[in-house]
C-alpha cells in the first residue's frame, strides 16, 4: 500500500519516462494529483521547437489541428502502455484515459479514471 504522494510521484516518473522514450523529450514540469478515483496529470513545456514553429507558421487552426492530431494519435497508440503504468503505480485498474494538449501554452493534460479509489497508507510525519 502506498501513500498518495508515492502514487503521484510514481505516475510523474512513469509519464516522464514515457515522454522521453516515446515522444523524444520530457516535460519541463509535471504534476500529478490523485482526487478520489481520478488521477490528473499536467505536463508543462512539452512542445519541441519544431512543434512550436509548426503551430506558429501555419494558419492558427491548421497548425493547431495538425499538432493536436499527431499528438493524439501517438498517445492513443500508446494507450495500453500508459494504462499499464498507471495500474502499476496505483495498484488499481485504469477504467479510462483522456488527453489534450494546448498549442498556446505548451501544456498537456492526462486524466485517468480508476475503477475505484485506491486504499492509501497515511504518510509518516517528519
pTM, two decimals, is 0.89
And the C-alpha cell for 122? 497515511
How far apart, in whole angstroms, are the C-alpha atoms of residue 88 and residue 77? 19
pLDDT of the residue at 19: 93
Q: Does residue 113 surpass a pLDDT of 80? A: yes
Is residue 41, in this structure, part of any structural domain at all?
yes
Is residue 71, in this structure, part of any structural domain at all?
yes
More confident residue, 20 or 126: 20
Q: Does residue 99 surpass a pLDDT of 90? A: yes
SS3 21: helix
What total of structural domains would you count in the chain? 1
And the C-alpha cell for 100? 489534450
How far apart, in whole angstroms, are the C-alpha atoms of residue 88 and residue 110? 17
Beta bridge partners of 71: none
Is residue 77, in this structure, part of any structural domain at all?
yes
pLDDT in tens, 50-69: 888 877 776 767 888 888 89
Q: Does residue 35 surpass a pLDDT of 70? A: yes
Is residue 102, in this structure, part of any structural domain at all?
yes
pLDDT of the residue at 60: 67
Can you give the residue range of the structural domain that contains 89? Answer: 24-114
Region 2-16 average pLDDT: 96
Is residue 89, in this structure, part of any structural domain at all?
yes
Is residue 76, in this structure, part of any structural domain at all?
yes
Closest C-alpha among 83, 88, 77 to residue 110: 83
How far apart, in whole angstroms, are the C-alpha atoms of residue 39 and residue 92? 11
Region 62-83 average pLDDT: 91
Percent of the chain with pLDDT over 90: 68
How far apart, in whole angstroms, are the C-alpha atoms of residue 66 and residue 69? 5
Is residue 73, in this structure, part of any structural domain at all?
yes
Is residue 123, in this structure, part of any structural domain at all?
no
Amino acid at each position: 500500500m502506498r501513500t498518495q504522494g508515492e502514487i503521484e510521484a510514481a505516475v510523474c516518473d512513469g509519464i516522464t519516462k514515457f515522454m522521453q522514450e516515446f515522444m523524444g523529450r520530457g516535460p519541463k514540469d509535471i504534476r500529478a494529483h490523485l482526487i478520489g478515483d481520478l488521477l490528473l496529470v499536467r505536463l508543462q513545456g512539452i512542445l519541441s521547437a519544431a512543434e512550436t514553429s509548426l503551430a506558429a507558421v501555419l494558419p492558427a487552426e491548421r497548425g493547431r489541428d495538425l499538432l493536436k492530431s499527431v499528438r493524439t494519435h501517438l498517445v492513443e497508440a500508446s494507450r495500453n502502455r500508459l494504462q499499464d503504468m498507471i495500474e502499476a503505480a496505483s495498484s488499481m485498474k485504469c477504467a479510462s484515459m483522456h488527453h489534450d494538449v494546448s498549442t498556446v501554452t505548451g501544456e498537456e493534460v492526462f486524466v485517468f479514471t480508476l475503477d475505484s479509489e485506491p486504499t492509501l497508507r497515511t504518510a509518516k510525519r517528519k
